[in-house]
Amino acid sequence: MTSHMTTADILWRLWQAGKSLDTLPPDMRPRTRAEGYAAQAGLPQASGRDVLGWKIAATSSAGQQHINVSGPLAGRILSGQVLPPGAVVPAHGNRMRVAEPEMAFMLGQDLPARAQPYTEAEVMAAVSGLHPSLEIPNSRFAVFTEAGEAQLLADNACAHQFMLGPPAPDLWRTQDLSQHPVLATVQHA
């Protein structure tokens, strides 16, 4: 077993137990973004779950400053972590204590890896739909703002739970989504 797989196993066990740690042991701690992503890549095997999609954390400079990272972080949305619309989401044990209204883009076709980046037009042509969604992030690090980006990447970019809403009407393609207002309400159980 590689150290990356051992790191993924440790983080998955913590995830399942609802426990945290201050930092990974030195011999298992990723030091770079590439090492963090390599450890994260072991999470599907460690968990026995499928990757259903991807999330992007820290997309704004404010978000990056908050968790002390140098740029956006990609994470995997794993089966078993997707909640049905309207599900009750307990806050107990969630160190991040936030629910993030999101816009989830569904791809209707694959975008295989290639040397040159895809253009925005190519990506949008691959999108089949838009859904309102809710991400409930969490971290396996007790003080996630001090964990550093390599460990946060290994920690699946703080991915935890995800809720996908119904498809939005197709008129979303004509809207400036960066200016679209979002309204979220919280119901206490």
- Judge whether residue 120 has pLDDT over 60: yes
Q: How far is CA 73 from CA 19, 55, 85, in A?
A: 22, 8, 25
Mean pLDDT in residue range 107-125: 95
Instruction: Indicate the pLDDT class of residue 163, thresholds 50, 70 and 90.
Output: very high
- Judge whether residue 15 has pLDDT over 80: yes
Beta carbons within 8 Å of 188's beta carbon, 6+ residues apart = none
CB atoms within 10 A of CB 90: 8
Mean pLDDT in residue range 135-157: 96
Q: Please, what sign has the CA dihedral across residues 65, 68, 73, 79?
A: negative
Mapping DSSP to helix (H, G, I), strand (E, B) and coil, where does residue 164 land?
Answer: strand
Q: Are strands 161-164 and 100-107 parallel, antiparallel or unpaired?
A: unpaired
- Global pTM reads 0.90
Backbone torsions φ then ψ of 26, nearest 5 degrees: -50, -40
Mean pLDDT in residue range 28-51: 97
Cβ-in-10-Å burial (0-12, 13-18, 19+) of 25 comes to: exposed
